[in-house]
Amino acid sequence: NVLRIGLIPADGIGREVIPAARQAIEALGSAIPKTEFLDLDAGFEYFQKHGKALPEATLQKLKEECDCAMFGSVSSPSTKVAGYSSPIVALRKAMNLYANIRPVVSTSTKPEVDLVVVRENTECLYVKQETLEKTADGKQVAKATRVITEHASKKIAQMAFKIAEARPRKHLTIIHKSNVLSITDGLFRESVREVAKDWPGVTVAEQLVDSAVYKLFREPGVFDVMVAPNLYGDILSDAAAALVGSLGVVPSINAGDHFVIGEPVHGSAPDIAGQNKANPIASIRSAAMMLRHLGYDDAALRIEKAVDTVLVEGRLVTPDLGGKATTQQVTDAVLKLI
Ligand code: NAI
Ligand code: MG
């Protein structure tokens, strides 16, 4: 019985924080089956060298040889680069990892913020169907297609209700903008409402995405589980991360019915990459979430307790949390407690 874990650090601080996640998993010893790690390529730097951001071999090894994986972060350029497309967006689609689950909890015994953003992970504007046209007078017109399906909306709703039901407050908020986008967001909203009928134990509320951000900053305590289409979920989870001190502590999993990839919510942080400053906690927590998803609850809890202790003590934290510790010092502190 071997647990095979694919590791895709990709770019920037992904290369610094994925090794930390690996060490946390290794520190579990016999709490999980024997592990094997497979180093897999992807990312913008890999694209620049080899012309592909997500090599076939990576996808094939994930599908055929791995039980789960950890993804770091990718440095996607802000301008169009011919032939390039974000490998993580492609991976989510290729492996049908339809749910992006992002718990955001403040560090304290009585957390002010304790919510989970459940983000649809395969469609919305992330289908990346964009066109550039020209009007008769030569002016450019850019268009993007936004896809919302009943199928994907109901799938993510099921996942969100399942998560909400398992939490003490059992409360779910549907995030949408169907006052303006009554067809696309309307379908999302109605699909979630439809699924709600199967979950009588969960209370349901809804909030327009703009005022949801407002409410998040004014009264974060009103939210328990938030279910959102892809783009809103992406934005909301970064916003929520600001409430708990740093993007560097917020984990996620990309989950489907047959595979799971742990991934910190943050990006490749080019401003601090290569300086041994990156907070490894988001990745370490993502590893714990990945293990829990596979049924290794005790192992996950061990990692999470170790992380919480380091955060509550607050002595060994990276600069994003106001400290001076390096990536490895924080990792070592966590490893010792595991
Ligand atoms: P970012 O998340 O990389 O950084 C935002 C800010 O948070 C920066 O100041 C950064 O230093 C800080 N930060 C992020 N993670 C941290 C950590 N672990 N420890 C300490 N500080 C941390 O977002 P940004 O700057 O918008 O994007 C940078 C690049 O990352 C872009 O190329 C973008 O495409 C890519 N990106 C990739 C993602 C992915 O791979 N899933 C997700 C988001 C962005
Ligand atoms: Mg994001």
The pLDDT value recorded for residue 275 is 97
Residue with tokens 């595991």: 338
Distance of CA 143 to the CA centre of its chain: 27
The reply to whether 5 and 53 lie within a common domain is yes
pLDDT score at 319: 98
Within a 10 A sphere around the Cβ of 50, how many other Cβ atoms?
10
Say how many domains are in the chain: 2
89, 124 Cβ separation under 8 angstroms: no
- Please tell me whether residues 160 and 92 are part of one structural domain: no
146 and 234: one domain?
yes
Q: Whose CA is nearest to atom 44 of ligand 1?
A: 267
Examine the domain organization and report whether 229 and 271 are in the same domain: no
Same domain membership, residue 124 and residue 90: no
Q: What is the CATH number of the domain that holds 209?
A: 3.40.718.10
Q: Which residue is closest in CA terms to ligand 1's atom 42?
A: 267
Q: Which of 18, 246, 266 to mutate to test the pocket of ligand 1 (most atoms within 8 A of CB)?
A: 266
Q: Can you say whether the dihedral through the CA atoms of 278, 281, 287, 290 is positive or negative?
A: negative
Residues 288 and 196 grouped into a single domain? no
Ligand nearest to the CA of 237: 2
**Which pLDDT belongs to residue 317?**
97
User: Exposed (0-12), middle (13-18) or buried (19+): which is 186, by Cβ within 10 Å?
Assistant: middle
Residue 107 lies in a domain: no
Shared domain for 141 and 227, answered yes or no, is: yes
Instruction: Give dist(CA 85, CA 182) in Å, integer.
Output: 30
The reported pLDDT for the residue numbered 110 is 75
The reported pLDDT for the residue numbered 108 is: 78
Catalytic residues: 126, 177, 210, 234, 238
Q: Clarify whether residues 14 and 93 are in a common domain.
A: yes
d(CA 186, CA 315): 48
Ligand nearest to the CA of 247: 1
Residue 103, in any domain of the structure: no
Q: Are residues 140 and 69 in the same domain?
A: no
CA gap 42, 39 in Å, rounded: 10
Tell me the C-alpha to C-alpha distance, in Å, between residue 119 and each of 41, 99, 138, 163, 224: 26, 6, 39, 12, 14
Residue 249 lies in a domain: no
Residue 335 belongs to some domain of the structure: yes
Question: Which ligand 1 atom is nearest residue 238's CA?
Answer: 2
Residues 23, 57 share a domain: yes
Provide ipTM, 2 decimals. Answer: 0.98
Task: Answer yes or no: is 170 within a domain.
Answer: yes
Residue 149, domain extent:
114-243
Where a domain ends, among 221, 243, 265?
243
In a domain, 105, yes or no: no
Domain stop point among 220, 243, 266: 243
Q: At which of 190, 218, 243 does a domain end? A: 243
Would you state the pLDDT for residue 246?
96
The alpha carbon of 258 and the centre of ligand 2 are apart by a number of angstroms equal to 23
Q: What is the pLDDT along the chain (338 residues), one digit of tens a residue?
A: 899 999 999 999 999 999 999 999 999 999 999 999 999 999 999 999 999 999 999 999 999 999 999 999 999 999 999 999 999 999 999 999 999 999 999 987 777 999 999 999 999 999 999 999 999 999 999 999 999 999 999 999 999 999 999 999 999 999 999 999 999 999 999 999 999 999 999 999 999 999 999 999 999 999 999 999 999 999 999 999 999 999 999 999 999 999 999 999 999 999 999 999 999 999 999 999 999 999 999 999 999 999 999 999 999 999 999 999 999 999 999 999 99
Residue 7 and residue 74 in one domain? yes
pTM > 0.95: yes
Q: Are residues 18 and 63 in the same domain?
A: yes
Query: From start to end of 74-231, where are the E strands?
Result: 99-105, 114-120, 124-134, 140-147, 171-176, 203-208, 225-228
Question: Cα(332)–Cα(338) distance, rounded to whole angstroms?
Answer: 10
Among 119, 231, 247, the mutation site with the greatest number of ligand 1 atoms within 8 A of its Cβ is 247
